Structure 1
C-alpha cells in the first residue's frame, strides 16, 4: 500500500479506531492497522473508500467478515462500514460501554467484542481522566 494512502487513512480517522473509537496513543503496545473494510478475498480493493483505521483488537475480531448474527434477533446483519455509515447512527456511549442502537451496531459490538472487560476498564480510566471524547 502506498505511504500516501496509508497517511490519508490515518489523518481521516484522526488516529482513532473507526470501530471502537480508541485513539492510537491509548494503545501503545500495538500499532493500529489500515484494514480493508471489504477484505481482498471478497473482492475488496485497496482504494481509500475501502480502507479504515482499526485497532488491533477490532481488526482481529472483524477479520474478513462482512456480516454476523444480531445477538438480539439471531438474524444475519451487515457489520458497520466506516465509509458508508455514520458511527453516531449505529452506536452510542453509556459510560464506558458502547451500545449498538441498530441491528448493524449490535452485531458489530458483539462480533468485535467492543465491551470486553479489558476494553471497558480502559475506557473507564480514559473517561475518568477526561481523555475520552
Structure 2
C-alpha cells in the first residue's frame, strides 16, 4: 500500500511539472505573432484593443485577462481563434495550479501600461522565454 502511495505521488509530481511547462505557450504565442493583427497606438486612441503589457509582478493574471479579451473581441478565423483559446486555457491552468515562481500572485491584473495586440503578444513571449532562462531550460 505504501509503495502504491509513493508511486501515485511521483506521478502527480511529474504531471505537475509537465503542466507548469511554458514551452507550448511560447510556441503558440510565436505563431500568433505571425498573424496580421490591426496595429494601433494605445496611447493615442481608444478605438483599438489595448491589452496589459506590464503589471508589477502579476503578469500571469494580466496575460489571462488579455487573452480573455482577445477571445471575446477579435473576429478571426477558426485556426487563430483556437490558438487564442488554447493559450488562454494553458494560462488559466498555470494560474490554477499555482506553479511556484511562475509570474503568479493572488492579486487581479492592475496594468501599469497597455499595448496593442502585437505588443501584448511580444511581452507574453519574451516574459515566458525569460522564465525558461531563469529555470535553466531551453526554448
Query: Which category describes the TM-score, using the shorter chain as reference length?
Result: under 0.3
Give the structure-2-normalised TM-score. Answer: 0.26
> In terms of Rg, which structure is larger?
2
Normalised to the residue count of structure 1, the TM-score between the two structures is: 0.27
State the structure with bigger RCO (CA 8 A, min sep 6), 1 or 2.
2
